[in-house]
Amino acid sequence: SRSGPSRGYYYQLLAAVGWTSLPLLPRLRLPTLILAGDDDPLTPVVNARIMHRLISSSELHVY
């Protein structure tokens, strides 16, 4: 039956929408390089800036 795989995909999609790594980012201690494109249509630069603020050992480069 085709309902099994479709249902599984739907559940995976719901799980991904509700998950965020933001609370875990301040725990990163290793040097982290964050690269972002100022004209990226999929990922706004503000996302990279938020990550940079949350990761104390990060370096941000926007191109």
pLDDT beyond 90 at 9? no
Average pLDDT, the chain: 91
The 3-state DSSP class for residue 33 equals strand
Residue 55 lies in a domain: yes
Q: 43-55 burial string, b = 16+ CB within 10 Å, else e?
A: eeeeebeebbebb
- The count of structural domains within the chain is 1
Kindly indicate the confidence band of residue 49, based on its pLDDT and cuts at 50, 70 and 90: very high
Residue 53 lies in a domain: yes
pLDDT beyond 80 at 31? yes
Residue 56 lies in a domain: yes
Span 15-30, pLDDT tens digits: 888 788 999 999 999 9
Domain that holds residue 50: 25-63
Residue 19 lies in a domain: no
- Taking alpha carbons only, the member of 27, 16, 20 closest to residue 47 is 20
